[in-house]
Structure 1
């Protein structure tokens, strides 16, 4: 953070600012504006990294690194409104780099806290746990690129164009990767239909 960074609070009465405004203020050195962006987007970036990497520690490291790099390179962002897509692209690419650098992965654990609705029903909790284990295993069988495309589309609701930008591919390639991922996942998850 620069020595010229301002630390005064956001203007009174401005409790909810849009992303582009916060980015512009953060670019001008307003640390509190950047903190708001981090608070707003660290959850979605963490969930993406966790699902891609399957490891809480690695996901936390990736998200921390992404937000640090984003702060340092904020002046390189061409359009303030492109910030969210930029975060998704950096998170996805960093996760792909981590996956490529790994040795073959053994067991992967997903954050079980996200499964709700089974409290008080041991039979439902066991079934949900089995489904999550199967899904985790199925996601592991996908290529890193297929997993990234599927997660960005199905879990994070990103458009094909946004995904293509995030991973540096064409929309046709993204559609193909998602179709192959869906087919593989459907085959593995068929017993739970």
Structure 2
């Protein structure tokens, strides 16, 4: 909660005091960061949006008439707008990247390759179904989910070596299944 001294800091910062603005930054950087992180679900983007929020705040402070004792509602509004801008930029990037990827697609479809790929996928699924429940979880976490050995071990409550050894056997089994189709 902002008290009278914070109102004075806002007035001093609006007049150009970097010291006062640094004090406001120190008081509000964490709440603004967590708002940005909640909205964006990405640490790097949240850090960028937090910095952008304070850059905008610095520029707009001279025209600010603080309506309450707290600066946080104003900063959170700026943060939400900056996060929305970041999300729109992400969407544009995905659309642009998708368009570039579409341009790289071949003009013809290799039906034979699709059949082979479908057969390989079917063999892998059958092999996964034949795994023990623990091995199936390890496969899903490590091969499909991209978990590191230790992260999978922590998730499953087993030692690191168990994940490493079982995953090695699972991979050998999958290679054998794939090798039978080629």
Instruction: Provide the TM-score with structure 2 as the length reference.
Output: 0.45
Task: Name whichever structure is richer in helix by fraction.
Answer: 2
Query: Which structure has more RCO (C-alpha within 8 Å, separation ≥ 6)?
Result: 1
Instruction: Provide the TM-score with structure 1 as the length reference.
Output: 0.43
Larger Rg: 2
